[in-house]
Each structure stands twice: as structure tokens, then as C-alpha cells.
Amino acid sequence: MATTTQNPIPSGSAAAAGTTTAAPPRLRRSSPRHRAGIAAHYLALVVTGLVFLAPVAYMVAASFAPASDTLAGFKVFDVTQWGLHNYSGVSASLSSDSTGHLWRFFLVSFTVTVAVVGLGLVVNSMAAFALSRLEWRGRGLVLLGILMLLIVPFEAVAVPMFYLYNDARNTLWIQIVPFIGNALSIFLFYSFFSGIPPSIDEAARLDGAGPWRIFTQIIAPMSKPAYASVAILTFLTQWGAFLWPVLMVSEPNLRPLPLQISVFAGQLPPAWGQVMAFGVLLVLPVIVVFLLFQRWFIEGVASSAVKG
């Protein structure tokens, strides 16, 4: 009985059969100059971050340090001496009708800021929707006027507004109504809405949807990053508003936090430890809001950069 032996396949037969094995990609080594550039880039980022974080870190440390060490430089970072006496001092100093109550300053700032942010999101997004998704005569002129308003600083119109609303001083609504409509917010919404394909609106109209339904059920849900970006920017601006309350508010119980901390810091002799504690209380809500909405804020900025 004959036996057959199979010869091994030659190494070149695989190539002849049409199958090839790709060579592994060669890793590209970065040159020393390239590595030095990356290191310099990260070093610049670290230095810039420290420049911005150092004052905040000092304020936080000084708010816990003893009053005698508030202006003592790096001595404020001695955690063994930290306490809450500055915060209790702020609460005790602002606990009467003549000076105002600390909780009421927070309530005024919170009420004004939430009202401006909430109403502003509705009004400005609707205006941007009309400018970007609807066809009507004069739309270009209105958009041009809004863009022109972006270059006008608030300080240029503060005095005319003061004379216009002088009879409504020392009220909550005077701190809210003038800031609901915002040219920057409209422009940000307009830029985001313009990047949404018009075919979505056309498909919705074929299904019988009108402008209101398109806005509330299609465009708005797709624009969460834009809403988060505008909400954070409006919150930062309104929470730290100072010039308008200085002009329009003189009653202690209607002062927002930025105005009250200015009054508090101007007392003699100045208690810098308590001023630092007050500053931490003023900044803390801003940090909390940013941490809560940072994901949508970053998405909104990134999408705007890509579309731009």
C-alpha cells in the first residue's frame, strides 16, 4: 500500500495565492526638539494654572487662618491653626436689621440670578430660533443690530438706564428685568441653532409640526450643550453683578452678595480674615454650578469650535 507524503507549503506560496501579511507599523520616535516643545507646553499650562489658582487658594486658606495671620504670607497655609472663627464672625456681623442678614443677601442673589438665567434661557433661545430657523422680512437687520450690541459695554448705558429706571430703585424686579434679554446669549443660541440641518425642520413640517412644536420638541432638546453654556455664562455674569446694584440698591435687605461684600470690606477697622471668608462664600456657588454643568458646557464650547 503506497503512502503519500505532503510537502510543506513554501513560504512564498502564500504570496502567490494572493494572501499577504502586513508588516507591523513602525513607531515614529519623537525627536528631542519635539519632546522639549511638549514639555515647554505643559510647563506653560502648569504656570498659567498656578497663576489663576494661587489667589483662590490663598483666599481659602486665609479664611480659615487666625485673623493675625491673614496677611502673613505662607503662614496662612499652616493647617494646624485653621478654624471657623472667620465664618462665625461674618455670620455674627450680619445678623441685624441695620446691617442686613447674611441669609437674606444669599436669598436676593439667588433669586435674581435664577430668575435672570431661567427667563433668559427661554426668551433668548426663542429669539435665536426666530432668527436662525424662520423666514421673515427684516431678519438680517435685526441680527445686525444684535451683533452691534455685542460691542457696546454695559458701562456705556448704565447711566441712561439709571435715569430711565430711577423711580423703581430698591426693588427686586429692577435687578432682574433689564438683564433677561442678552445679545451675547442670543448670538450663542443663534450660532448653535444654525448648525442644525434644515432638513430636520422640513421633515417635521411634513408631519404637520408648526414652529412652536419644532422649537420645543426638536430644536431645544437637541441643544442641551448650548443651553448649559449660556446658563453658566449668564450665572457667572449675574452672580457677580456689581455696578447696577450700586446704582439702584441702597436698602440693606435688597443688596446682592457682591455689593454687600464691598460694604463689608469697607468697614473700619477691616477684618481681612472675615472678608476672605465672605469671599469664599461668594465664590462657592459658582464653583458648584460649574461642576454640575461642566460636561454640557465643554460639549457646547467644543461643538461651537468645530462648527466655527
With respect to residue 116, please indicate whether it lies within any of the assigned structural domains: yes
Give me the pLDDT at residue 1, please. Answer: 45
Residue 119 has pLDDT above 90, yes or no: yes
Asked whether residue 2 carries a pLDDT value surpassing 50, the answer given is: no
Residue 93 inside a domain? The answer is no
pLDDT band at 100 (very low <50, low <70, confident <90, very high): confident
Number of domains in the chain: 2
166 assigned to some structural domain: yes
pLDDT band at residue 22 under the 50/70/90 scheme? low
Beta bridge partners of residue 96, listed in sequence order: 100
Is residue 27's pLDDT more than 90?
no
pLDDT at 187: 92
Distances (CA, A) of 131 to 83, 119, 233: 54, 18, 21
The count of other CB atoms within 10 Å of the CB of residue 48 is: 10
- pLDDT tens, position by position, 139-154: 889 999 998 988 888 8
Q: How far is the C-alpha of 65 from the C-alpha of 80, rounded, in Å?
A: 9
Residue 264: its pLDDT value, please? 86
Cβ 241 vs Cβ 158: under 8 Å: no
Q: Quick one: 127 and 151 in the same domain?
A: yes
Those residues with Cβ within 8 angstroms of residue 127's Cβ, 6 or more apart along the chain or in another chain: 181, 186, 189
Whether 27 maps to a domain, the answer reads no
Regarding whether 180 and 38 lie in a shared domain, the answer is no
Determine, yes or no, domain membership for 12: no
Q: At what angle do helices 272-307 and 183-194 cross, to 10 degrees?
A: 30
What CATH number does the domain containing 227 carry? 1.10.3720.10
> What pLDDT is attached to residue 14?
45
Q: For residue 24, how many other CB atoms are within 10 A of its CB?
A: 6
Residue 294 pLDDT exceeds 90: no
d(CA 246, CA 250): 8
Burial, 304: exposed, middle or buried (Cβ in 10 Å; 0-12, 13-18, 19+)?
Answer: middle
Q: Are residues 49 and 128 in the same domain?
A: no
Q: Taking residues 206-223, what's their average pLDDT?
A: 89
Instruction: Assess whether 139 and 44 both reside in one domain.
Output: no
Strand-pair partners of 100: 96
Interval 15-30 mean pLDDT: 54
Can you give the pLDDT at residue 209? 84
Instruction: Return mean pLDDT, the chain.
Output: 83
- The grid coordinates of residue 154 equal 454695559
Least confident of 5-14, 155-164, 273-282: 5-14
Give, in degrees to the nearest 5, the angle at Cα 145 between 226 and 302: 20
Provide the pLDDT for residue 43: 92
